[in-house]
Copies of this chain bind each other. A is one copy, B any other.
Amino acid sequence: MSVKERKERERAARERLIVAAARELAEQQGWDAVTTRRLAERIEYSQPVLYSHFRGKREIIGAVALEGAAELASAVRAATAAVNGPRERVAALARAYLDFAERNPAVYDAIFQLDGGLAYAQEDTPEQLKDAFAALMENLAEVAGDGIEPGLFTEVFWASLHGIATLTRTKRLLPEYAEARVELLVDRLAML
């Protein structure tokens, strides 16, 4: 049954190709430009092929979101691993998070803004999303403060970062305050 296995490998490879193409196109020209036709053209297949891998455009966004969530998690862990001291660790986390959002706006949107048909904060939430939240909580639990549940604190800190990330990207905040916002947020929210 080697033939079947080969076909499955090829199929998986093509699926990765679709996700990669969608992501690249979205980062280059925004999600609006990610149409089924353009996507099909990029992978050099016809549109119906997309629907043999994904239920629709929404699921493709979801696939990009999962890939991105895994990257966000490791970006956060990588940025905090080598840092000594809780305060600097939290600041590094905040900068890594905002940096990821700025460098991968389309992927960030796929994870947090667009509808990728994924469940959040529930049992059936995909591993990658749970793990991204876990990566935040690992570094934030130690500064949550007495009597504050780490999960609650992480939600608030995360929401603040998310607000800054999205409002910054849509040019609703003053660029010159960027660094000061992070400092203020970390100094006030984290209990040291």
Q: Which residues of A contact B (CB under 8 A)?
A: 112-113, 120-121, 148, 151-153, 155-156, 158-164, 166-167, 170-174, 177, 180-181, 184-185, 188-189, 191
Q: List 27 A-B contacts (CB under 8 A).
A: A112-B167, A113-B113, A120-B170, A121-B171, A121-B172, A121-B173, A155-B173, A155-B174, A155-B177, A155-B181, A156-B164, A156-B184, A156-B185, A159-B163, A159-B164, A159-B167, A159-B181, A160-B163, A160-B185, A162-B163, A162-B167, A163-B163, A163-B166, A166-B166, A188-B188, A188-B191, A189-B189
User: Would you list the 3 A-B pairs with minimal beta carbon distance, nearest first?
Assistant: A163-B163, A159-B163, A160-B160
Residues of B within 8 A of A162 (CB): 163, 166-167
CA distance A170 to B125 in the complex (A): 14
Which of B121, B151, B156, B177 is in CB contact (< 8 Å) with A152?
Answer: B177
Residues of B within 8 A of A172 (CB): 112, 120-121
- A148/B184 in contact, CB under 8 A: yes
Residues of B within 8 A of A121 (CB): 171-174
The CB with the most chain B CB atoms within 10 A, among A153, A171, A172, A180, is that of A172
The smallest beta-carbon distance between A42 and chain B, in angstroms, is 25
